[in-house]
Amino acid sequence: MKVAIVMGTRPEIIKLSSIIKLLNKKNSTIIFTGQHYDFNMSMQFIKDLDIRKPDYSMKLTKLQNTTTDRATQIGEIVLNLAKIISKIEPDTVIVQGDTNTVLAAAITGIKCSVPVTHVEAGLRSNDWRMPEEHNRIAVDHISEFLFAPTEHAKKTLQGEKVHGKTYVTGNTSIDAIQQNISKAEKKANLSIEKKNDFALVTLHRGENVDNKETLSSIVQGLVQSKMDMIFPAHPRTVKQLQRFGLYKKLQESDNILIIPPVGYFDMLYLMKKSKFIISDSGGVQEEATSPSIRKKVLIVRKSTDRPEAVKTGYSELVGTCTQKIIQAIRDAQDNHKITSDANPYGNGHSAEKILSVLRKTL
Choose, from 141, 152, 204, 349, the residue flagged as catalytic.
204
**Rounded Cα–Cα distance for residues 285 and 289 (Å):** 7
**Rounded Cα–Cα distance for residues 274 and 197 (Å):** 7
- Residues β-bridged to residue 259: 232
The DSSP call for residue 7 is E
CA 45 to chain centre: 14
Pairing of strands 145-148, 116-119: parallel
Q: Are the C-beta atoms of residues 286 and 174 closer than 8 Å to each other?
A: yes
Q: Are the C-beta atoms of residues 88 and 117 closer than 8 Å to each other?
A: no
Report which of 279, 350, 345, 270 is spatially closest to residue 315, judged by C-alpha positions. 279
118 is catalytic: no
Compute the C-alpha angle 5/48/147, nearest 5°: 35
Q: Catalytic amino acids? A: 204
